[in-house]
Amino acid sequence: MRADATLGSDQKVIHAPDDHALLERFARPLNDAPRETPERIVIDPKKVEHDLARLVLSVIELLRQLLERQAIRRVESGMLSDDEIERLGVTLLKLETRMGELKVAFGLGNEELTLDLGPLRDLVSECE
Amino acid sequence: MIYVYAIVDRPETPLPGQLGLHDEALTAVVWRDVAAVVSTFDAAQLARTADELWRHENVVEALMSNRAVLPARFGTMLPSRQQIGDILRSFYRTLVQDIERVRGHVEIGMRFLSNIEESAELEQPPAASNRFIARGAGPGSAYLLARLARKQQLQDRQRAKLGLVRDVYDLLARHANASWLDREWNDRRGISAAFLVPRDRIGSFRDVVGEVAGANRGVALLCTGPWPPYSFVRTGAGGTDWSKRRHAS
Amino acid sequence: MQRHPTNRDQLALSELLDRALNKGVVLWGDATISVAGVDLIYVGLKVLLASVDTAERLRQNARATASADTEAAE
């Protein structure tokens, strides 16, 4: 396929781990990502309510995590008074508790509420 | 549309006989002593497949056999040759500088993953280990401070991993004329680095990679190349300015 | 696309994608241009978001450079 590559190498891999598991991890993005069409949240008419709940809760959960990260950054910045920290924390605590109740009520686990953000994944950095 | 493969020097040198995407002939749009290597292209037919990508790559690599090449991003197209010429004129100075930098060099890429599969479970952060001492902390503060402590724990882990990678990176950077390292460790893709290596030192660079790979440091590495210098061009968008990606020393 | 992930071709392709789709020269013109941002791995949204700002900055820089050149030539 690349016989006419003039940089002098037929294959581009100079070094790769021998370990199969590590190789899989290196190749992982290629496996996960290619999609011909954007991912759709499938709404099954037979369980519309459940799927809608899943969709709505997924979005709420995402927002909750983003807000929480913002709050943590502010606490870290030292710009908040103790009182503000306490109020912020109580609100977030309530939010987390409420989300927990909703998840139980709808029988949804954390895995089902994780939205695949695709390109936004990097914007919403994993390393809080 | 006019599809652009690369910006090159020596416009007077004949283009390779290679065909471009969809077997279209390669031509050049010239401004002074730089040229854009292009072919006509039916935009509706753009298919982002492995074959198309390798075809793009093969054109770029063929050009590298006898001139300095700034590879264009895959899928770069403009409606007319005129506009391409205008852009060459607008960006001329930057392009010439980049061409000088990459002439006679190739890019070699590294990716690092930590050997240990990321575990979601962290040890419980000790209650008093965070840097903020709450005076009469209520439940809200306790919650936030626990979250903060966990975040700091994650950051410490990142820093430790980065430290391991940094040693390898510094060693390899000494064998390259330019290099950069990502600032952040991405849980999925690990951390990447790129090295601009003179062609006549590719062999010794590979040897050094082999040596460091042998010394297991809790970090696994993938090394690929030689590539055209995609990562060392500045005319671009989306944060590809390589000089800004350089890891802070 | 093959599903065997540890084939060296797959690794090379993955690295090529990372380069050819995210890096390299991007040329900006005044008329509509097309960049294969919506693509195999990195869907264009992030590129677009960053690109809008950068494009404006690049254009401003380019115009500043061009007019500086014109002045210098005179």
Q: Give B31-69 pLDDT, tens digit per residue.
A: 999 999 999 988 777 777 888 889 999 999 999 999 999
Report CB contact under 8 Å: A86, B140.
Answer: yes
pLDDT tier, A122 (very low <50, low <70, confident <90, very high otherwise): low
Q: C6-24 burial string, b = 16+ CB within 10 Å, else e? A: beebbbbbbbbbbbbbbbb
**pLDDT given for residue B96 in this prediction:** 93
* Predicted local distance difference test score (pLDDT) of residue C41: 26
Strands in chain B per DSSP E: 2-9, 27-31, 34-40, 69-71, 77-78, 105-114, 178-181, 191-198, 219-227
* Residue A124 DSSP label: S
Nearest to A11 among C8, C14, C17 (CB): C8
Task: Give residue C46's pLDDT band: very low, low, confident or very high (50, 70, 90).
Answer: very low
With cut-offs at 50, 70 and 90, classify the pLDDT of residue A82. Answer: confident
| Distance of alpha carbon B221 from alpha carbon B224, whole angstroms | 10
For residues A114 and B78, which has the higher predicted lDDT (pLDDT)? B78
The predicted pLDDT at position B55 comes to: 93
Integer angstrom CA distances of residue A11 from A14, A116, C12, C15, C38? 8, 32, 7, 12, 27
β-pair type (B34-40, B2-9):
antiparallel
Per-residue pLDDT at C29 exceeds 80: no
Higher confidence at residue C47 or residue B208?
Answer: B208
Quote the mean pLDDT of chain A: 73
Give Cβ neighbours of residue B187 (< 8 Å, ≥ 6 apart): A126, A127, B118
More confident residue, A52 or C2: A52
Please, what is the end-to-end C-alpha distance for chain A in angstroms? 42
Which residue numbers in chain B have pLDDT < 50?
Answer: 120, 128-131, 237-249
Between A106 and B229, residue with greater pLDDT: B229
| Predicted local confidence at residue B46, as pLDDT | 76
Q: Residue C36 has what pLDDT?
A: 44
Chain A residues closer than 8 Å to C45 by CB: 118-120
d(CA C45, CA C43): 6
**Chain A touching partners, 3 or more CB pairs below 8 A:** B, C
Asked if pLDDT for residue A10 goes beyond 70, the answer is: no
pLDDT reading at C69 higher than 80: no
Tokens of B171: 């060693």
Q: Token pair for residue B96?
A: 């010439």
> Which member of B54, B144, B222 has the closest CB to residue A89?
B144
Where are the domains positioned within chain B? 2-102, 105-245
Span of A37-41, A72-76, B234-238, C17-21 with lowest mean pLDDT: A37-41
pLDDT value of position A31 = 40
Neighbouring-strand partners of residue B221: B112
Give me the pLDDT at residue B109, please.
95
| Nearest chain B residue (CA) to A87 | B140
Residue among B75, B91, B192 whose CB faces C36 most closely: B75
Contacts of C47 (CB under 8 A, 6+ apart): A119, B237, B238, C22, C35, C37
pLDDT confidence band for C42 (50 / 70 / 90): very low
Q: What is the predicted pLDDT for the residue at B86?
A: 87
- Mean pLDDT taken over chain C: 59
